[in-house]
Amino acid sequence: MTELTMKRVKGDGVEIQLAVWEGEGENILCVHGLTANCRCWDEMASCLTPAHAFLAVDLRGRGLSDKPAGGYSIAHHIRDIYCLLEDCGLKQVVLMGHSLGAYISLAFAASYPDRTKKIILIDGGGHLAPAQWDKVDLAIKPSLERLGRVFPSFEDYVAPLKAVPILQPWTPAIEAYFRYESEEVEGGVRSRIHLDHIQEEIRNMRQAVPSDFYPRVTCPVLILRATDGILSPDDLVLPEPAAERMVAELASAQRVDIPGTHHYSIVLQPSEQRDEAILDFLTES
């Protein structure tokens, strides 16, 4: 893995924090999920760089990026990405998105096909029925409980997280990820993320129709799907029917299921199968 550096870049009226791992091959712009940040990619960067370069954004409202009072939607995020590519002088990138980041990557590829070489969608981007959205909402609800709360120390902040089965095994990369998202405030430590921003994001995300993007995506697509639920077997973020529809309706899509992974571990934990699938996809003409 190459050394991580941080830089500030221009989004659409906001400043965006960008984590950069230099590499020799493709420029891979990594777009994280709902309450994540650029450091969720540490584990994958350790295996995929320096063969390729990783550029991981903190979406507006997350990490060290600006946090405007409003403007949390897929449309806002793709404008930020367009602006940061302009600021960085990048004409074309491979987009890799997890969860919400997968939806953003689809929307960007549909809106700016000339700037998108390929996209990698990790457990996201599917068209979900309202009933499935309800199951997913229940599954991710525990991840929102830390937002807005002040804990006496960082150790107190991560103690409940360390007790969550889906974050096991707890690794140095996961520790670094949560340390990065925390900040010291009067009385202790809290998440940098504002709950009201995430609530706005969820409302807008549920109104999005990702299948509208499918016919407009012309580049090659790799879909990586977690086979296990988060809290129950049926709270899959990318259930089988949604994944099948993506393969059928995207012009050039291939799908790889990663057995034994769930929505979070497919990114946060080591996976040779995941990394090999990505490397193979990147080398295909």
Q: Is 180 left (phi over 0), alpha (psi -120 to 50) or beta?
A: alpha
- At residue 79 the predicted structure's pLDDT band, cuts being 50, 70 and 90, is very high
Instruction: List, for residues 230-242, the tens digit of each pLDDT value.
Output: 999 999 999 999 9
What is the span of the domain harbouring residue 99? 4-283
Mean pLDDT of 222-228: 99
d(C-alpha 189, C-alpha 153), whole Å: 6
Q: Where are the alpha helices (DSSP H) in 89-239?
A: 100-111, 130-144, 154-162, 172-181, 195-207
Mean pLDDT value across the chain: 97
- Identify the pLDDT of residue 241: 97
CA 248/CA 146 separation, integer angstroms: 38
* Maximum pairwise Cα distance, the chain: 54
Contacts of 102 (CB under 8 A, 6+ apart): 31, 121, 122, 123, 124, 125
Q: What is the pLDDT of residue 185?
A: 97
What's the total number of domains in the chain?
Answer: 1
Does position 285 have pLDDT exceeding 80, yes or no?
Answer: no
Please tell me the distance from the alpha carbon of residue 27 to that of residue 210, in angstroms, as a whole number. Answer: 25
Residue 107 scores a pLDDT above 90? yes
* Separation CA 75–CA 168 (nearest Å): 34
Task: Read off the CATH number of the domain in which 128 is found.
Answer: 3.40.50.1820
Burial of 163 (0-12, 13-18, 19+ CB in 10 A): exposed
Distance of alpha carbon 126 from alpha carbon 117, whole angstroms: 20
Is residue 143's pLDDT more than 90?
A: no
